[in-house]
Amino acid sequence: MKLSERAKNTPPSGIRRFFELAEEMDDVISLGVGEPDFSAPWKARAAAIHSLERGRTSYTTNRGMLELREAIATHVLRYGLEYDPESEILVTTGASEAVDLALRALVDPGDAVAVQSPAYISYGPGVRFSGGDPLPVSTRAENDFVLTYDDLERAGAADAEVLMICYPNNPTGATASADELADIAAFAREHDLTVLSDEIYAGLTYEGDHTSIATLPGMRERTIVFNGFSKAYAMTGLRLGYALGPSEAIDAMNRIHQYTMLSAPTTAQYAAIEALESCDGDVEDMRTQYDRRRRFVISRFRDMGLECFEATGAFYAFPEAPYDDEQFAEDLLQEEGVAVVPGRVFGEEGYGHLRVSYATGMSDLKEAMNRIERFLGSR
Ligand code: PMP
């Protein structure tokens, strides 16, 4: 069979490759995966089951059930985001689909798309699938991995059409304050960039409230915000997300979505309505547990003498590796059965770091940290 150049040129995910190794071993504690160790809140699961019992197994309207879009519009008001459920919200198959649709709706072949780095592994390939050229914009450890005006200028982002950012960030756990976002917003306005803002971890911040760049002056009209149910609501397998944006952008995305996906999963939409309407308490419980683990992991790394910046969002710590990150991750896995992800898979700025997910129960987390300490002591 003849395969497309696109498929042939797409490398396997650096994370997957690593975890295939781990799967062959016994007694491995994985701090590698980017997904909650919790199940979705029971009320959300019950709503999904109930919808099936009532036989609700058809497609929904392309944009997603209006009741869900209304619940999303109400939910995002907590971040100061005001969007019309009729025309400015699109329900998608995970935030992943929303990112893909936005890129395909905005990017022409050859357009440069500035992508904050280190970044979630899907952005680069997603830009390429849209025909665009990814332009990595390195954030710096000394700025706690928050993008600055200087970073953008130095990388030549002024010539890009689109800028892709993500706070709270995967893989670093960095969050960005309103002041820091204002710097990025100023650059976007001056150089007429459209901003794609992946805010899927908005519900998982531990110091202060989440701020969306779309709420800053002059930004709403040039920003598309992504969010979803995978992280804060622990609903990864239900595959539900959404995009918020000006109606012309949402219309353009829906034009592609109606042919490629038709509608997001119906059962998941019922679960999501319930999640938004009655599961704030469950989210708060999970957030509190993540926060306890976050403090524990960061302080253990620091006690071991590893540089570890104060990650304040998502569920990742991003310590410095004591030597080559890929070799370290491999040695740690082989010798102590602890899986972490080498920072380099998230882009050049990730070199020398490790992504350590604390979406793992406290007892496994304690054992993993003991093993890492023993491993470092044996070197
Ligand atoms: N964006 C980021 C930053 C993520 O970490 C993930 C999940 N790993 C996604 C998007 C995809 O989320 P979804 O399950 O909603 O497609």
- pLDDT tens, N- to C-terminus, the chain (379 residues): 999 999 999 988 777 767 777 888 889 999 998 899 999 999 999 999 999 999 999 999 999 999 999 999 999 999 999 999 999 999 999 999 999 999 999 999 999 999 999 999 999 999 999 999 999 999 999 999 999 999 999 999 999 999 999 999 999 999 999 999 999 999 999 999 999 999 999 999 999 999 999 999 999 999 999 999 999 999 999 999 999 999 999 999 999 999 999 999 999 999 999 999 999 999 999 999 999 999 999 999 999 999 999 999 999 999 999 999 999 999 999 999 999 999 999 988 888 999 999 999 999 999 999 999 999 998 8
Q: How far is the CA of 50 from the centre of ligand 1 (A)?
A: 27
Q: How far is the CA of 165 from the centre of ligand 1 (A)?
A: 13
CB neighbour list of residue 277: distance below 8 Å, 6 or more residues apart: 71
CA distances from 320 to 80, 104, 108, 120 (A): 35, 35, 38, 18
Tokens of 180: 């820091």
Q: How many CB atoms lie within 10 A of CB 15?
A: 18
| pLDDT, position 25 | 87
User: Burial code of 62-75, b = ≥16 C-beta within 10 A, e = fewer?
Assistant: bbbbeebbebbbeb
Residue nearest ligand 1's atom 5 by CA: 170
Delimit the CATH 3.90.1150.10 region(s) of the chain: 5-40+281-377
CA distances from 36 to 45, 232, 281 (A): 16, 8, 16
Q: How far is the CA of 305 from the centre of ligand 1 (A)?
A: 31
Residue 206: CA atoms inside 13 Å, Cβ hemisphere, count? Answer: 22
Closest ligand 1 atom to the C-alpha of 35? 8
| pLDDT, position 26 | 86
Delimit the CATH 3.40.640.10 region(s) of the chain: 42-278
Q: Using alpha carbons, select from 345, 346, 36 the residue that is nearest to residue 166.
A: 346
Question: CA 64 to CA 275: how far, in whole Å?
Answer: 15
Q: How many CB atoms lie within 10 A of CB 296?
A: 16
Residues touching ligand 1 (Cβ under 6 Å) are 34, 94-96, 120, 166, 170, 198, 200, 228, 230, 236, 241
| pLDDT, position 348 | 83
Q: How far is the CA of 141 from the centre of ligand 1 (A)?
A: 23
Closest ligand 1 atom to the C-alpha of 170? 3
List residues bridging with 320 in a β-sheet: 353
- Choices 3.40.50.10610, 3.40.640.10, 3.40.50.2000, 3.20.20.70: CATH for 42-278: 3.40.640.10
| DSSP annotation of 40 | P
CATH second-level architecture of 5-40+281-377?
Alpha-Beta Complex (3.90)
Residue 320 · residue 353 · CB < 8 Å: yes
